[in-house]
């Protein structure tokens, strides 16, 4: 397939290829016959292409992601990436601030400190101070709380949107790795089947050789008698 020269021992005969895959290779390469030979690299590539064609037949037209995985699996390219590092390295200053505010606002120290602030405000304006600056019903406190909620809620929503985007990136990355692993496992199954087939042929050849030797010995013994 690659038009390169190899030693015969480094090649695989067409008879060692599964019939379904043999037909698939013949459909793409008119020169492929039962007397042809193929190298391991080309056979691995053809196996990946064969598996992707089966996926296309089952699912319909392959997506851009599946086509990209097929190309990388054929070239044996790695898929593992540090999603967390990439996610934080691409964050802008505003996004980092939003994440920090969401992290602080969703923690127990913030809740505890907020309750302490409320208790101190109510105590100072209701019981302890002789001249209050925000008497009951604490209109200024309500204004501060409303402003805080109005600002904090959109910031937390921005952080949640970023976390959702990160989860989508992680899910897409996991899908790519799982699909590549599925293709590699299928290719390994093909290789194991080929090894078993080759060993079986070798055992048959040895048995035929042993039968020939035994037959020859039997004929010699018969003649000597």
Count of CB atoms within 10 A of residue 159's CB? 21
Dist CA 198 CA 214 (whole Å):
24
Torsion sign across C-alpha atoms 187, 189, 190, 194? positive
Contacts of 70 (CB under 8 A, 6+ apart): 48, 49, 52, 62, 183
pTM over 0.95: no
Alpha carbons within 13 angstroms on the beta-carbon side of residue 27 total 10
pLDDT tens-place string over residues 44-83: 777 777 766 766 665 555 565 566 666 666 555 566 666 7
Contact 110, 118 (CB under 8 A): no
Q: What is the mean pLDDT of residues 184-198?
A: 67
Give the pLDDT score at 143. 93
pLDDT above 90 (res 91): no
Q: Is the pLDDT of residue 109 over 80?
A: yes
Q: Is the dihedral of CA 23, 29, 30, 33 positive or negative?
A: negative
pLDDT of residue 113: 92
User: Helix, strand or coil for residue 12?
Assistant: strand
- The answer to whether 190 and 44 have CB atoms below 8 angstroms apart is no
CA distance 156 to 140: 24
Mean pLDDT throughout 5-22? 74
Q: What own/partner pairs with CB < 8 Å and gap ≥ 24 does 138-141 have? A: none
The residue ranges of DSSP E strands in the chain, in sequence order, are 11-13, 37-39
> What pLDDT is recorded for position 32?
80
């Amino acid at each position: 397939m690659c038009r390169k020269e190899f030693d015969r021992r480094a090649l695989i005969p067409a008879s060692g290829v599964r019939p379904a895959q043999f037909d698939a290779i013949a459909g793409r390469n008119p020169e492929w016959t039962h007397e042809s030979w193929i190298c391991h690299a080309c056979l691995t590539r053809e196996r990946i292409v064969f598996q992707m064609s089966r996926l296309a037949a089952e699912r319909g037209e392959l997506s851009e992601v599946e086509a990209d995985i097929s190309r990388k699996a054929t070239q044996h390219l790695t898929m593992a990436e540090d999603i967390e590092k990439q996610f934080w390295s691409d964050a802008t200053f505003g996004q980092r601030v939003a994440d920090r505010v969401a992290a602080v606002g969703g923690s127990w120290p913030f809740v505890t400190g907020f309750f302490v602030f409320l208790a101190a405000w109510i105590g100072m304006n209701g019981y302890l101070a002789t001249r209050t600056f925000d008497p009951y019903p604490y209109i200024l406190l309500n204004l501060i709380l409303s402003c805080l909620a109005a600002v904090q809620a959109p910031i937390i929503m921005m952080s949640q949107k970023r976390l959702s985007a990160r989860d989508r990136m992680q899910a897409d990355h996991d899908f790519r790795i799982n699909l590549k692993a599925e293709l590699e496992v299928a290719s390994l199954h093909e290789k194991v089947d080929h090894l078993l087939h080759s060993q079986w042929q070798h055992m048959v050849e040895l048995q035929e050789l042993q039968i020939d030797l035994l037959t020859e010995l039997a004929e010699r013994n018969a003649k000597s008698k």
